[in-house]
Amino acid sequence: MTSGTTPDLPLVTGAWREGDPVGARQFLDVGTIDLESGAQLPDVRVAYETWGTFRGDNAVLVEHALTGDAHVTGPVGPGQHSPGWWDDLVGPGRPIDTDRWFVVATNILGGCQGTTGPASIAPDGQPWGSRFPALTVRDQVTAEIAVADALGIDRWQAVIGGSAGGMRALEWAITVPDRVVRLFLLATSPWASAEQIAYSSTQQAAIVADPNFLGGDYYGAARGPVAGLALARRIAHIAYRSEPELAERFGREVQDDGRFAVTSYLEHHGTKLVKRFDANAYLVLTRAMDTHDVGRGRGGVDQALARITARTIVAGIDSDRLYPLSQQQVLAESIALSGRLEVVTSLHGHDGFLVEFDQVGALAQKLLG
């Protein structure tokens, strides 16, 4: 990681790079991945973490969201800037009980926390940068299938994911239905809507407009597009939370420094992301989410969902304005247990899937039995 005068604030990228502390990461080299576009991505390495003991048929895959990573549970430490994002759900005696289940989480293909992505070194010894190929959600699942094969996991007892992680969980259950026994889809969708793409494209534009973006080839420069990435995160975070929450927490309060409190809050989250993420990876991953459509090339959404054989729970957040309940209802009517949509009550909007541990944990326990 390249740092500036503020020791923990990178000037170029917050990506994990070779030579950084490994932390709890493990790595698998899965070779060349054939992409939907017809291109190939060579020398793919996937970072992952595991918890529990594998006993042949007790594996559970937990899929992280857009800016998450494989560190589902565990403390901050060398090479790991954030605590586990589902600490209250995964662990011994917790709803996803690692005394019972062997839990696996991979860092997404195209990401920036140990898996091959734009900040990684290409076969020619230089960072991929602008040369990194476009990906789809299905490409990312292809890489995860290779990981499962390498780990000797023939089928998952559950695949669990929220938001972008739910997209990959859904693709798992459609692409290889015989390898997914249970499925938990949370605050996700069968396709990217026009509004979701609009939010995404605006964030992408904020990064590309940063004068330090340099067409995506900024890794050797003195500065990278960290301001554009921070702005993208601020735009996203508005959609991640609910208007009632922002009104209740901040209202029109003005701080001593003259800033509105809500402005300071958004700036904090932008800076926080810059410390652990990469601008190119943000572009690759959001563009992959934009392509999400389970019906593409499969005869439509209904025919795609009909492939799923997993015992499924679909849940949504009642205050989610980014992934509204109407999208989860489509999934529930096709594949949920008894056609029922489980509704999580939350003031926190889309981020409720990361906050409402009691409600989400109860649903996970219901599915895992």
The residues assigned a catalytic role are: 163, 320, 350
- The sheet carrying 40-51 orders its strands as 26-34, 40-51, 102-106, 59-63, 158-162, 182-186, 311-317, 341-344
User: 150 vs 60, 106, 154, CA distance in Å?
Assistant: 15, 13, 10
How far is it, in rounded angstroms, from Cα 333 to Cα 341?
A: 8
Handedness of CA 256, 259, 262, 266 (dihedral sign): negative
Cα–Cα dist 169/65, whole Å: 11
Work out the angle between the directed axes of helices 164-175 and 279-290 (0-180°, nearest 10): 50
**Token pair for 311:** 């015992």
Where b means 16+ CB within 10 Å and e means fewer, 129-163 reads: beebbebbbbbbbbbbbbbbeebebeebbbbbbbb
3-state helix, strand, coil in the chain (%, to 5): 35, 20, 45
Contact 282, 67 (CB under 8 A): yes
Q: Rounded distance, CA 329 to CA 161, Å?
A: 16
Calculate the alpha carbon distances from 110 to 14, 44, 141, 230, 254 in Å: 14, 10, 12, 19, 39
Is the separation of the CB atoms in 160 and 60 below 8 Å? yes
- What's the rounded Cα separation, in Å, for the pair 171 and 173? 5
Q: Residue 368 and residue 164: Cα distance in Å, rounded?
A: 21
